[in-house]
């Protein structure tokens, strides 16, 4: 199979073919996500929530992201694997940002990195790109800034924040980012941004006119039973499927029906 590249993603936008992106954090899940034809696998810092059980994405470390990313890279035969730079690994200065990105590329074998923010991180984006590392932007609801926002509700509903987001998108494109994630912003604004820049936009809670879509794999598979925001479409109810299987196993062990004679040596 031919590996998806940033150039292929640009061609997809040019011809109006939508880009499908999902998260994964481990080898077995990534193998399924890759096999199903997902174009980009994001090793998101949402691992902090869905893998480690933290309330926010802030606690996950660069070492932990590299562990997740290396596992995903070993499974991905076709998908482009992009890895989030975690909170604290790039905001200090652009040299620190580059050092973090290099560790992700070398130690995990990833194909690119994603950073949250616009003009504020321009120097870091420039330095990482200068090293030949593809960079994906992330605007709108940027969860590493949750304590600044105070809530996980829709961003850029007001004109000032919308205007800044549009400027940030143009800036990220000008710097050389290959795509931009737009998280939880009005569909109308996401449509405008998607039309105003030539690189692909990947939306999550940003409407149907983005050039691609992304969801957290645990959310779309219904593993996170409680989590059902408006933007999320659940494609399975794996919590119940897995719960039934595990309940049956426990019952079988307790009732001594597992293992049977065919299952012993
Ligand atoms: O960490 C993550 O999963 C993300 C996506 C939701 C875009 O950044
Ligand atoms: Na993220």
pLDDT for 39-50, tens place per residue? Answer: 999 999 999 999
| Nearest residue to 219 (alpha-carbon basis) of 211, 231, 210 | 231
**185 in the same domain as 137:** yes
- How many angstroms separate the CA atoms of 177 and 144, rounded? 20
Residue whose CA is closest, atom 5 of ligand 1?
44
Asked if residue 262 and residue 155 are part of one domain, the reply reads no
| Residue 244 Cα to ligand 1 middle (Å) | 29
Residue 90 lies in a domain: yes
Q: Are residues 127 and 207 in the same domain?
A: yes
Same domain, residue pair 193 and 244:
no
pLDDT digits (tens, 9 = 90+) for 131-162: 999 999 999 999 999 999 999 999 999 999 99
Asked if residue 84 belongs to a known ligand binding site, the reply is yes
- Whether 181 and 54 map to the same domain: the answer is yes
- Which DSSP symbol is given to 123? H
Place of tokens 């509700």: 153
Alpha carbons 199 and 10: distance in angstroms, whole number: 6
Q: Backbone phi, then psi, for 214, in 5-degree steps? A: -140, 145
pLDDT range class, residue 127, cuts 50, 70, 90 = very high
Spatial CB neighbours of 48, under 8 Å, sequence gap ≥ 6 = 54, 56, 57, 58, 59, 60, 86
Positions marked catalytic: 183
Pair 183, 204: CB distance under 8 Å: yes
- The percent of residues in the chain predicted with pLDDT above 70, rounded, is 100
**Same domain for 67 and 162:** yes
With respect to residue 27, please indicate whether it lies within any of the assigned structural domains: yes
Q: For position 210, what pLDDT does the model report?
A: 99
**77 shares a domain with 132:** yes
Looking at the fold, whether 178 and 207 belong to one and the same domain comes out as yes
Residue 108 lies in a domain: yes
Tell me how far apart the alpha carbons of residues 66 and 78 are, in angstroms, rounded to a whole number.
Answer: 20
> CA angle 97-101-105, nearest 5°?
170
- CA 10 to centroid of ligand 1, rounded, Å: 20
Quote the number of domains for the chain: 2
Q: Quick check: is 193 in a domain?
A: yes
Q: Residue 108: CA atoms inside 13 Å, Cβ hemisphere, count?
A: 33
Domain-located, residue 1: no
> Residue 73's pLDDT is what?
99
- Considering every ligand atom, which ligand is closest to the CA of 204? 1
Q: Are 116 and 138 in contact (CB under 8 A)?
A: yes
Domain that holds residue 254: 237-265
Q: Which residues lie near ion ligand 2 (Cβ < 5 Å)? A: 44-45, 84
Measured CA to CA, the distance from residue 177 to residue 173 in angstroms comes to 5
Distance 204 CA to ligand 1 centre (A): 8
Same domain? 162 vs 86: yes
Q: Are 212 and 39 in contact (CB under 8 A)?
A: yes
Do 212 and 106 belong together in one domain?
Answer: yes
Nearest to 81 by CA among 35, 50, 38: 38
Q: 51 lies in a domain?
A: yes
CATH assignment of the domain containing 14: 3.20.20.60
Residues 119 and 211 in one domain: yes
Is 189 in the same domain as 241? no
pLDDT at 225: 87
> Which residue has the CA at smallest separation from atom 8 of ligand 1?
44
Q: Whose CA is nearest to atom 1 of ligand 1?
A: 44
């Amino acid at each position: 199979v031919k590996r998806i590249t940033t150039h292929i993603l640009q061609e997809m936008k040019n011809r109006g073919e939508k880009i499908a992106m999902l998260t994964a954090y481990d080898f077995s899940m990534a193998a399924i996500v890759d096999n199903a034809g997902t174009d980009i696998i994001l090793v998101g810092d949402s691992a902090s929530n869905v893998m480690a059980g933290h309330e926010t994405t802030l606690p996950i470390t660069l070492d932990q992201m590299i562990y997740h990313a290396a596992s995903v890279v070993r499974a991905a035969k076709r998908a482009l694997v992009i890895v989030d730079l975690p909170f604290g690994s790039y905001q200090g200065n652009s040299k620190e940002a580059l050092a973090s990105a290099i560790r992700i590329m070398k130690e995990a074998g990833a194909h690119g990195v994603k950073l949250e923010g616009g003009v504020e991180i321009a120097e870091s984006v420039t330095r990482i790109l200068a090293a030949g590392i593809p960079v994906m932007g992330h605007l709108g609801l940027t969860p590493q800034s949750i304590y600044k926002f105070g809530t996980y509700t829709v961003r850029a509903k007001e004109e000032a924040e919308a205007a800044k987001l549009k400027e940030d998108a143009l800036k990220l494109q000008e710097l050389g980012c290959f795509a931009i994630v737009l998280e939880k912003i009005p569909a109308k604004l996401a449509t405008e941004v998607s039309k105003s820049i030539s690189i692909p936009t990947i939306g999550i809670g940003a409407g149907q006119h983005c050039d691609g879509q992304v969801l957290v794999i645990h959310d779309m598979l219904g593993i996170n039973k409680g989590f059902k925001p408006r933007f999320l479409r659940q494609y399975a109810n794996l919590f119940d499927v897995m719960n039934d299987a595990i309940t049956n196993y426990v019952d079988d062990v307790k009732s001594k029906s597992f293992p049977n004679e065919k299952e012993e040596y």
